[in-house]
């Protein structure tokens, strides 16, 4: 039986990071407020999007892991934000699918570790559809591909307030992974670990719409929910 949480899907396409951050923060605050209401309207959200080139630093990160000066960032046209998610520094860019689930974990399981592992599992199953065997590495959040070096293909960083989630995951598909050279990704200084993308692993570009469809399917399965596209009034549950 499906979870009775109401999940609305929003595909924002290519959107400025700050604009998307403000949008998800607004939805997050609404859900927290509604949750505390005597007549709660607990509509939850799953946002998919891409961002122009940007670097973001999480609460536990070090600015030393950004290898560009403010002047260099400006010259190259890259944005940079310190944000309230967990984790260290990462990069977002066009061709990367970013997912922001805004969920009340009271409907699922009030456990941060479970939630992060569930997001990882959604990505692992999505990559398996492309015959990519991905996995977790103990003590390193995210999704990896085994080999020499180990290659990180997806990063995860979240924030919670009253068990309502904010931020989410970034899955490298067709994005320019050379832009990770300007940071120490996730603060991991290990020559046996690097960054990769689905296009790099398969040797060809992949249609983002197909990856999104698979992500939605596996998200629905792992979290045991039906996902509704509001403007189409349809449910994605297969």
In whole angstroms, give the CA distance from residue 178 to residue 200: 11
Closest CA to 84 of 60, 103, 64: 60
**86 lies in a domain?**
yes
* Residue numbers of the domain that contains 45: 6-236
* Residue where the block lists tokens 């923060």: 25
* pLDDT band of 187, cuts 50, 70, 90: confident
* pLDDT band of 103, cuts 50, 70, 90: very high
**180 lies in a domain?**
yes
Report the range out of 145-149, 195-199, 227-231 with the highest average pLDDT: 195-199
Question: The domain that contains 189 carries what CATH number?
Answer: 3.30.930.10
Question: Backbone phi, then psi, for 139, in 5-degree steps?
Answer: 80, -5
**74 lies in a domain?**
yes
**58 lies in a domain?**
yes
Q: Parallel, antiparallel, or unpaired: how do β-strands 79-82 and 140-145 relate?
A: unpaired
Token pair recorded at residue 89: 């520094």
What is the DSSP annotation of 185-225? GGG---TTEEE--HHHHHTS---HHHHHHHHHHHHHHHTT-
Helix (H) or strand (E) holding 119: helix 112-128
Q: Which of 186, 198, 215, 222 is catalytic?
A: 186
Give the whole-number percent of the chain exceeding pLDDT 70: 96
Number of domains making up the chain:
1
Instruction: For the beta carbon of residue 33, count every other beta carbon within 10 angstroms.
Output: 13
**65 lies in a domain?**
yes
CA-only gyration radius of the chain, Å: 17
In whole angstroms, give the CA distance from residue 215 to residue 126: 6
The answer to whether 44 touches 104, Cβ cutoff 8 Å, is yes
pTM comes to 0.94
Q: Which of 27-36, 119-128, 144-153, 183-192 has the lowest mean pLDDT?
A: 183-192
DSSP letter at 40? Answer: -
**1 lies in a domain?**
no
In this prediction, residue 111 carries a pLDDT of 97
* pLDDT band of 40, cuts 50, 70, 90: confident
**Average confidence score pLDDT of the chain:** 93
- pLDDT of 3 strictly over 90: no
Return all residues near 52 (Cβ < 8 A) that are at least 6 apart.
14, 16, 17, 79, 93, 94
Token pair recorded at residue 105: 């974990």
- pLDDT of 159 strictly over 80: yes
**189 lies in a domain?**
yes
Tell me whether residue 49 is one of the annotated catalytic residues: no
In this prediction, residue 186 carries a pLDDT of 86
């Amino acid at each position: 039986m499906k979870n009775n949480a109401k999940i609305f899907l929003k595909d924002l396409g290519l959107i400025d990071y700050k604009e998307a951050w403000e949008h998800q923060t607004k939805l997050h605050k609404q859900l927290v407020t509604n949750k505390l209401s005597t007549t709660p309207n607990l509509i939850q959200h799953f946002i998919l999007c891409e961002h122009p080139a940007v670097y973001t630093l999480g609460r536990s990160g070090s600015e030393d892991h950004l290898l560009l000066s403010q002047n260099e960032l400006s010259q190259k046209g890259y944005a940079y934000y310190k944000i309230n998610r967990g984790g260290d520094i990462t990069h977002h860019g066009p061709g990367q699918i970013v997912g922001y689930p805004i969920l009340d974990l009271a409907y699922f399981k009030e456990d941060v570790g479970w939630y992060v592992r569930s997001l990882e599992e959604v990505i692992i199953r999505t990559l398996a559809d492309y015959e990519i065997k991905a996995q977790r590495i103990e003590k390193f959040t995210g999704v990896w591909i085994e080999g020499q070096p180990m290659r990180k293909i997806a990063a995860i960083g979240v924030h919670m307030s009253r068990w309502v989630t904010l931020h989410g995951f970034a899955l490298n598909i067709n994005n320019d992974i050379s832009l990770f050279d300007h940071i120490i990704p996730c603060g991991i200084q290990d020559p046996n670990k690097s960054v990769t993308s689905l296009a790099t692993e398969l040797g060809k570009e992949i249609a983002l719409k197909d990856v999104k469809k698979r992500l939605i399917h596996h998200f629905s399965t792992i979290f045991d929910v039906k996902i509704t596209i509001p403007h189409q009034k349809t449910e994605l549950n297969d």
